[in-house]
């Protein structure tokens, strides 16, 4: 059914529908939104939870989760606080 097809594009997503009436959405993340595995690994090696890290750096647990999954890029001050708590240089934990 060609009349049912649609596509919408934006800066960070695109959506498509199948012509058989089945619909699905494909979400493409921005290329710079990579998971921060180095930060997570350092946190786990230190033996602290996301909540404990959040409390020590003065933010909420959800923000730590968002940083680790790449949904949020922390500002320079937050990067420095996280690095200090984890006992690592900032450049070892973050790309920039």
Average pLDDT rounded to a whole number, residues 8-33: 41
CB atoms within 10 A of CB 83: 19
Judge whether residue 7 has pLDDT over 80.
no
34 pLDDT tier (thresholds 50, 70, 90): low
Strand locations in 1-96 (E) = 7-9, 14-17, 23-24
pLDDT of 95 reads 85
From residue 18, alpha-carbon distances to 3, 4, 8, 21, 44 in Å are 11, 8, 13, 6, 42
Judge whether residue 36 has pLDDT over 50.
yes
Judge whether residue 2 has pLDDT over 50.
no
Give me the CATH code for the 37-93 domain, please: 1.10.260.40
pTM above 0.75, yes or no: no
* Domain boundaries along the sequence of the chain: 1-30, 37-93
Residues 6+ positions from 85 with CB-CB distance below 8 Å = 53, 56, 57
Average pLDDT rounded to a whole number, residues 33-55: 92
HSE of 37 in the Cβ direction (CA atoms, 13 Å)? Answer: 1
pLDDT of 69 reads 93
Q: Among candidates 89, 33, 96, 44, which has minimal Cα distance to 66?
A: 33
From residue 37, alpha-carbon distances to 3, 21, 25, 62, 83 in Å are 44, 39, 27, 16, 14
């Amino acid at each position: 059914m060609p009349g049912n097809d649609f596509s919408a594009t934006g800066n960070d997503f695109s959506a498509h529908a199948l012509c058989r009436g089945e619909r699905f959405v494909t979400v493409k993340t921005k290329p710079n939104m990579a998971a921060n595995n180095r930060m997570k690994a350092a946190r786990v090696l230190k033996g602290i939870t996301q909540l404990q890290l959040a409390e020590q750096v003065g933010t909420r647990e959800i923000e730590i989760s968002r940083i680790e999954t790449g949904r949020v890029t922390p500002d320079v001050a937050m990067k420095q606080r996280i690095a200090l708590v984890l006992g690592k240089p900032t450049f070892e934990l973050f790309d920039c």
